[in-house]
A and B are shown apart, each in its own frame.
Chain A
Amino acid sequence: MNRIFSLSFACVVLLISSCTNFLEETPRTQLPAESYFSDPRTIEAAVNALYKIGPNSWYSPGAYDGNRHMQGGWISGLFDNLNYKGQEIWIQFAQTFTMTSNNVDVRMGNLFNDPYISIQRANLIIEILPTLDLVATGMTEAQRTRFDAEARFFRAQNYLWLVRHFGDVPMAIETQDSGDDMYLPRTDVKTIYESVIIPDLLKAIEVLPIRNQYNNSGRITATVASAHLIDAYVQMAGFPVNDASKWGLAAAEAKKFLPGGAYESFFKLEDNEDFEELSAYNKFRSVNVNSPSPGGRKLSSCLEFIYVCEYQSGITGAGFSNTAWSLEVGALGTTEAKVSITNNAYKPMPRRLAVYDTVNVRDLRMKERQFFANYYDKMDGSRFPNPELNTPSPYFFHDWGAMKLENNSGRHFAIYRLAEMYLFAAEAIAKSEGVTAQAVDALATIRARAYEWGYDEAERESGKPKTDVVTELSTLSVDRFIEEVWVERYREFVFEFKDWNLIQRTRKYPKTNPMDSSIPLGTARFVDITTVGTDFSGGKLFSLDYLLWPLPESQLQRNPNLVNNPGYEGKP
């Protein structure tokens, strides 16, 4: 019996004494946060994670629901999602002015939440960098300042979009942990601009290299930050902050991009090599595409682009296929398209198209297959006409190689291009200095590029040389000149999701010929937004409340200190 006892006892002792750290957890597929920031390579990886979240990721397309920058275009009534708004319901709520925190919770959640995820990642980097030992981590001081500046840039970019869409928002500038008070109240827009957006961008401009993004390994540069700073100043000068002193600052920053400015040598406006596939406008479409349209040319970069959201085909998940938005649903068969789902997701409405002067002046941008198309090519070279309802559709999104060959594209989508800096400069100079020759030249340069077309062709007498444009503009009052800048913005950036932001800061709506036949085609009368409705709003007029989105209900529930924007039913 002794033998049995000792055997059993040995068994038990063996089991109890084995592996004292049996219940410890040591993940291998992730890294523990405590020791993460120990090497410049891992620190840079944490910075890299900021590049594709927030406003940049909102460019990524869905065939059905378009992208997240389109929401403003849809509520403005200037654009429609033709084929799939029946299932992508927040579009209809926007169009009919019936958004509530509840019924668009998910979509607004996307717009509200992503920036904060990015902001807190940036906060963590900004907080931790000064605490790191350079020797122990092997990081150089230059790396540390660059990481800090890039993180600050992204924090500013995310706040810029947050305040545009939501107005006053919680200002999270420190990381939090589970024991902290997480219920931040809203901070007014002006304070957020002054204490985060502007200082962070200034810091980025000071530290980061003055270069073209294409010559900086795709990373953020001082020029990218400048473009954001100009946008931020212009926004501050308009509603809701209305700080007119910012016009001067915006003008000074924007002049860096003009001829003679500090950034002049890094950028160049694209020119029209012809008025077909090699026009400036078609070049924007073909930056880093796989195969250009017949007659087109593939560009590896574009010196007009200041900041791009880059894509790359051949790398799974890195490609872009906004070509799906260039045609209506089911337009093409398998022999004609690799794209299974097409949808005219951002169809310009007649009132939007009427800003182009197709009667008195031939605007190249409105010419067939520049920004718009009425027909597409078949593989055999013959033409496939769009159905009437779909006409014209956005040729700007069309990517021949993606549509016909790969359904995937490396097309770079410009967030800011030089033309916009010219128009910012024209507006800001006019506001701060008057209609100076520099302001006129900036606007005329952009406008004349589109008017070259008719001018060069003798049989058409509708084009206009730049000198004529300059002459016309020079005589205008500041207010009239500014309106000419605005209408040019509508013509130049039709598919670059800039419209709503202009409406938000000016509170003016471009009233055009289809809305009032006394307004000539090709112009817009800028009217108080509260005096108009849309083709979708069922007679309802805009309210100023609609210029901001409702806060998502799910966030209102989580944070009792969060008060909803007016017009959206208060607390759910």
Chain B
Amino acid sequence: MTRNAVSQSHQLNVQYGSKKSSSGVFLNYTDNQGIVLNTGIKLVSGRFTHDSKPLNWLSTAMNMMVNHTWQSVTPIGSGGMDALRSNIEMPPLFPIKFPDGTWSNTTYKIYGFEYEAMANPVHYLNSRTDMRYRTHIMGNAALTFYIAEGLELKTQFGMNSRIYRRREHQPFGIINHDNNGKGKVNAEESDRLYWQEETFLTYKKVIDRHRLTAMVGLSWMEETYSRFTNDVGNFTTNAFGVYNLGAGSEQNTQQSEWQRWAMNSYFTRLAYTFSDKYSFTFTARVDGSSKFGANNKYAFFPSGGVAWNISNEDFMKDISWIDNLKLHTSYGVTGNSELPMYRSLAVFSASTVLLNGTRASAASSSRMANPDLRWEKTKLFDIGFNLNMLKNRLNFDVSWYYKYTDDLLLEAPIPITSGYQNIMKNVGALSNKGWDIMVTGTLVSNDDFSWNASLNANYNANKIEKLNDNNADIFVGDDWLGGQSIVMRVGEPLACFWGFERLGIKDAAYVAEHGGRVGTAIRSANRTIIGRGMPDWTGSFINRFRYKNFDFLAEFQFVVGGNIRLDCTHTIEDRFGLTSGIRSLMTEAWTEGKPTDLPNQVQAIRIGSFDGQDSQLDSRFVSSASYLRGRHFEVGYNFPAQKIKFLNMSSLRAFVNVNNLFVICDKSFKGYDPEVSTRGQFEQNVMNYQYPVPRTFSLGVNVTF
């Protein structure tokens, strides 16, 4: 099901220029094979840039980029019996194909097992296709007018077009994934057109020890999006693939939609520096977004900062081991308008219902109007310092921040007796505080050998301060195993996992007293918070070495704190028997005589669907999210300039590297890789099945002429 994948990437960059203009042409071809069969992505891209100064009062700049990608994907973590799932859950008793050449699936009964229906993953990956095509065109043009000494007016216009096509073919014959034996094609097309116009006037002036920069500007931006989908089912042959939608007889799930948002902003910035010691910055913006209520489209966002460059003070002159010391602090308000469109308006959504054997139009009110919907605001305070010492061989950049988000935009729960589950409202408050720490050092430096190390670490703690009127919990994310799975609760961090606690295992004595089945889990009566998706610390540690013409790079990445919820624990442990499972069943499953009072034990193995499986989202699903990854290791060799002169090259470097060499994580984690892609704003570190993360070896050369 997986393979050793071979990928290639070629880039060609040409840049040239004259006194009055410069241009560049950049070409790229990349072919990334996926390590799962028949997955991967290809990219062709071209970029052109041109800057010129045709008149002494005018300069122009433009760039254009076009790329196209072809991507073949397989579903990840959908919960369906997809290949990444059946790869683990298909009992290994089954061959890929039977001797007669037919693909195997689990409905062939073996030894009296009764398995949930699944096709084998090789069959699935070889037969089913899901192609995504993306064309991306981006262009930008700018004019700068030099009006007077220090005064310039710049106006720039950019456009960005993203055209997307998806073609998915579910041929019949793949059990549990072929539209009940009928086959299906999904076709989707969408385009997203974005433009932005920005004009600003900048004035710069230096008088003695006073340095002043002032800027005012305004901008407009708009994005329109339209989408069309068509699902067609029931084909008599798989031969058409995605190329003949008219051949399917189930022709009734077309959908289309259209959306638009726009923004309009006015902004100014003032920066003043005295004697390179004291700096003051003040900015103010008025931002308007179409997404808010009629009277609340615009909001004002000021911010200000002060910096003191202590090392430029006279009294520091004698302290030679400090090269640079700067204290800085700032306070400001920023806005967030990341919410779906049209949420301030009451609208009717149309659909159809079955009435008298056909589809009849139906429509219902989608939500309550909220004309008060307004910008979410975050107040941010930070304070920190930069310190460079020992001739810049040891550098610190450390800051502490506190963010308080007010008017948090949430789908605020309201009593269902209103007819609605929730209303988009500015109700919540959220705080974040943390540290950003960067330490870099040159530990060794001489002609033959050098070692640079850099440690970057970020600590963040967040807390929900307030939700809606009654602070009712907000459940986000998909329900899992008959209950909600992620809770937002006042006083807790975001993205807390919601489930039962697994307290122990029922033995005969327990069952005699309380009922139930021997070997199943004892759990708390109610759901509670069983983990949190947000980590405490994230960061990286990078080492660069140079020895003569060789260079070495060793990069580590780490996460400390937080939890991961592995949803497939349900099928691979708790519900074993309907599908295959994982090794922990053999090594850790409870058997008679083992202790019954340890939390998070594996339940006794129960084979077959009648044997009383008992699966609930509980603390057994949750593991530590901490890990250390050997992210990137590279060895390079720079050919000495005189040795490559005859090739007309100015430099030539050959390298070999390995990505993702190792990951060390908590042994409670049972997935492939503890780095989890985020599903939603409030939903983190939840995974079901993952696309396996490859370990990549690369060879390459960089050539400059």
Q: Is B355's CB under 8 angstroms from A45's CB?
A: no
B470 x A340 contact (CB < 8 A): no
A48 contacts partner chain B, Cβ-Cβ < 8 Å: yes
Q: Are A51 and B616 in touch, CB under 8 angstroms?
A: no
- Across-interface contacts of A170 in B (CB, < 8 A): 415, 417
| A458 to B425 CA separation, bound complex (whole angstroms) | 75
- Please provide the chain B residues from 310 to 364 with a CB less than 8 Å away from any CB of chain A in the complex: 341-342, 344-351, 353-364
B213 touches A (CB below 8 Å): no
Q: Which of B218, B363, B417, B525 has the most CB of A within 10 A?
A: B417
Stretch of B366-374, B446-454, B620-628 on the interface side: B366-374
Interface core residue of A33, A98, A172, A218 (most chain B CB under 10 Å)? A33
In B243-276, the 8 Å CB interface with A consists of: 249-250, 252-253, 256-260, 262-264
Interface membership of B107, Cβ < 8 A = yes
A457: interface (CB < 8 Å): no
| Contact present for A176 and B419 (CB under 8 Å) | yes
Q: Which of B175-183, B400-408, B647-655 contacts A (4 or more CB under 8 A)?
A: B175-183
A513 to B578 Cα, complex, angstroms? 34
Residues of A within 8 A of B175 (CB): 334, 340
Is A517's beta carbon under 8 Å from chain B? no
Is B634 an interface position by the 8 A CB rule?
no
Given contacts A329-B609, A406-B180, contact A32 B347 (CB under 8 A): yes
> In the complex the two chains form, what is the Cα distance from A355 to B407 in whole Å?
61
The stretch of B126-134, B285-293, B542-550, B657-665 that contacts the partner chain:
B285-293
Also in contact, A25 and B341, with CB within 8 A (given A33-B348, A45-B361, A218-B355): yes
Asked if A117 is an interface residue, CB under 8 A from chain B, the answer is: yes
Is A8 in contact with B419, judged by CB distance below 8 angstroms? no
* Residues of A with C-beta under 8 A to B691: none
Q: Is the CB of A22 within 8 A of B264?
A: yes
Q: Known interface pairs A4-B147, A45-B362, A558-B414. Does A340 touch B613 (Cβ–Cβ under 8 Å)?
A: no
For residue B602, give the distance in angstroms from its CB to the closest CB of chain A: 15
How far, in Å, is B587 (CB) from chain A's closest CB? 22
Q: How far is the CA of A175 from the CA of B610 in the complex (A)?
A: 48
> In chain B, residues 374-398, which have Cβ atoms closer than 8 Å to a Cβ of chain A?
none
The reply to whether B289 and A328 contact each other, CB–CB distance below 8 Å, is: no
Q: Tell me, in angstroms, the Cα distance from A406 to B107 when the chains sit together.
A: 17
Most chain A beta-carbon neighbours within 10 Å: one of B252, B358, B365: B365
Residues of A within 8 Å of B106, CB to CB, are 330
Checking A42, A84, A554 against B475 with a beta-carbon cut-off of 8 angstroms, the contacting residue is A554
Contacting residues, chain B, for A329 (C-beta < 8 A): 114, 116, 578, 609
Decide: A318 and B347 in contact? CB cutoff 8 A.
no
**Residue contact B418 to A120, C-beta cutoff 8 Å:** yes
Q: Are B341 and A116 in contact (CB under 8 A)?
A: no
A538 within 8 A of B: yes
Q: Is the CB of B482 within 8 A of A65?
A: yes
- B664–chain A nearest beta-carbon distance, Å: 33
B197 interface hit (Cβ, 8 Å):
yes
Given A30-B347, A96-B515, A330-B114, A41 contacting B355 (CB threshold 8 A): no
Interface residues of A in 29-82 (CB under 8 A from B): 29-34, 36, 41-42, 44-46, 48-49, 51-52, 65, 82
Q: Which residues of A contact B359 (CB under 8 A)?
A: 315, 318
- Which chain B residues lie closer than 8 Å to A28 at the CB level? 258
Could you tell me the distance in whole angstroms from the C-beta of B522 to the nearest C-beta in chain A? 12
Task: Determine whether A143 belongs to the interface, using a CB cutoff of 8 Å to chain B.
Answer: no
Given A177-B368, A333-B108, answer yes or no on A554-B473 (Cβ-Cβ < 8 Å). yes
A331 at interface, CB cutoff 8 A: yes
**CB–CB A340/B252 < 8 A:** no
User: In the complex, are the beta carbons of B516 and A15 less than 8 A apart?
Assistant: no
B286 to chain A, nearest CB (A): 12
Which residues from A are CB-within-8-Å of B482? 65, 87-90, 104, 106-107
How many B residues face the partner with a CB closer than 8 A?
112
Given the known interface contacts A22-B220, A28-B258, the answer about A330 and B609 at a Cβ–Cβ threshold of 8 Å is yes
**Which residue on chain A has the smallest CB distance to residue B514?**
A538
CB-based contact B417/A184 at 8 Å: yes
Q: Does A219 contact B (CB under 8 A)?
A: yes
Contact partner, B481, options A82, A89, A217, A311, Cβ 8 Å:
A89
The reply to whether the CB of A501 lies closer than 8 angstroms to some CB of chain B is: no
- B423 contacts the other chain (Cβ, under 8 Å)? yes
Answer whether residue A359 sits at the interface, using C-beta atoms and an 8 A cutoff: no
Does B595 belong to the interface (CB within 8 Å)?
Answer: no
A282 interfacial contact with B, CB 8 Å: no
Given A121-B419, A184-B415, CB of A48 within 8 Å of CB of B356: no
Residue from B117, B357, B415 whose CB has the most chain A CB atoms within 10 Å? B415
What CA separation (Å) do A25 and B262 show in the bound complex? 9
CA distance A41 to B348 in the complex (A): 14
| A30:B220 contact, CB within 8 angstroms | no
**A100-B526, A338-B181 given as contacts; is B609 within 8 A of A83 (CB)?**
yes
Does A389 belong to the interface (CB within 8 Å)? yes
Q: Is the CB of A27 within 8 A of B355?
A: no
B342 contacts A316, C-beta separation under 8 Å: no
A46, B614: Cβ atoms under 8 Å? no
What is the 8 Å Cβ interface bit string for chain B, positions 110-129, against chain A (1 contact, 0 not)? 00011111000000000000
Taking chain A's interface residues, is the majority helix, strand, or loop, or is none over half, making it mixed? Answer: loop
* Chain A residues within 8 Å of B218, by CB: 12, 15-16
B42 at the interface (CB under 8 A from A): no
In the assembled complex, the Cα of A436 lies from the Cα of B145 at a distance in Å of 102
Closest to A52 in B: B353
- Against B, the Cβ 8 Å flags (1 = close, 0 = not) of A95-131 are 0101010111111000011001101110110000000
| A523 adjacent to chain B (CB < 8 Å) | no
- Bound Cα distance from A155 to B357, whole angstroms: 24
Contact pick for A22, options B176, B262, B416, B570, CB 8 Å? B262
> How far, in angstroms, from A32 to B347 measured CA to CA in the complex?
5
| Docked CA distance A33–B347 (Å) | 5
The answer to whether A182 touches B415, judged by C-beta atoms less than 8 angstroms apart, is yes
Complex CA distance for A330 and B155, rounded to whole angstroms? 67
Let me know if B145 and A4 touch, CB within 8 A: yes
A340 to chain B, nearest CB (A): 4
Closest to B423 in A: A178
Q: Is the CB of A178 within 8 A of B415?
A: no
Indicate which residue in B105, B116, B350, B471 contacts A30 across the interface (CB closer than 8 Å): B350
When distances are taken between beta carbons in the complex, the residues of chain B under 8 Å from A538 are 514-516
A330 to B291, Cβ gap below 8 A?
A: no
Query: Does B356 contact A217, Cβ atoms closer than 8 Å?
Result: yes
**Which residue among B253, B361, B362 has the maximum number of chain A CB atoms within 10 Å of its CB?**
B362
Decide yes or no whether A548 CB sits under 8 A from chain B. Answer: no
Interface residues of B in 200-238 (CB under 8 A from A): 218, 220, 222, 231, 233
Determine the chain B residues whose CB is within 8 A of the CB of A389 once the complex forms.
610
**B197 pairs with A15, CB closer than 8 A:** yes
Whole-angstrom CA separation of A324 from B175 in the bound complex: 15
Task: Point out the residue from A82, A182, A316, A332 that lies within 8 Å of B250, measured CB to CB.
Answer: A316
State in angstroms the CA–CA spacing of A36 and B363 once bound together: 10
Q: How far is the CA of A422 from the CA of B147 in the complex (A)?
A: 94
A314 within 8 A of B: yes
> Is there a chain B Cβ closer than 8 Å to A341's Cβ?
yes
Q: Which 8 pairs of residues, A with B, have the shortest CB-CB distance? A: A538-B515, A120-B419, A86-B613, A330-B114, A407-B180, A218-B356, A557-B472, A33-B346
A-B contact pairs, 11 of them (CB 8 A): A22-B262, A33-B347, A87-B613, A103-B500, A314-B249, A314-B250, A318-B359, A330-B107, A331-B114, A538-B515, A558-B472
Known: A103-B527, A172-B418, A340-B176. 18 other contacts (CB 8 A): A15-B197, A22-B264, A22-B290, A23-B263, A32-B346, A33-B365, A89-B482, A92-B614, A112-B416, A124-B365, A182-B418, A219-B355, A333-B107, A340-B175, A555-B416, A557-B413, A557-B470, A558-B414
Write the residues of chain A forming the contact surface with B, with a CB cutoff of 8 angstroms.
1, 4-5, 7-8, 11-12, 15-16, 18, 22-25, 27-34, 36, 41-42, 44-46, 48-49, 51-52, 65, 82-84, 86-90, 92, 96, 98, 100, 102-107, 112-113, 116-117, 119-121, 123-124, 170, 172, 175-178, 180, 182-184, 217-219, 310-312, 314-318, 328-334, 337-341, 387, 389, 406-408, 410, 537-540, 554-555, 557-560, 562, 572
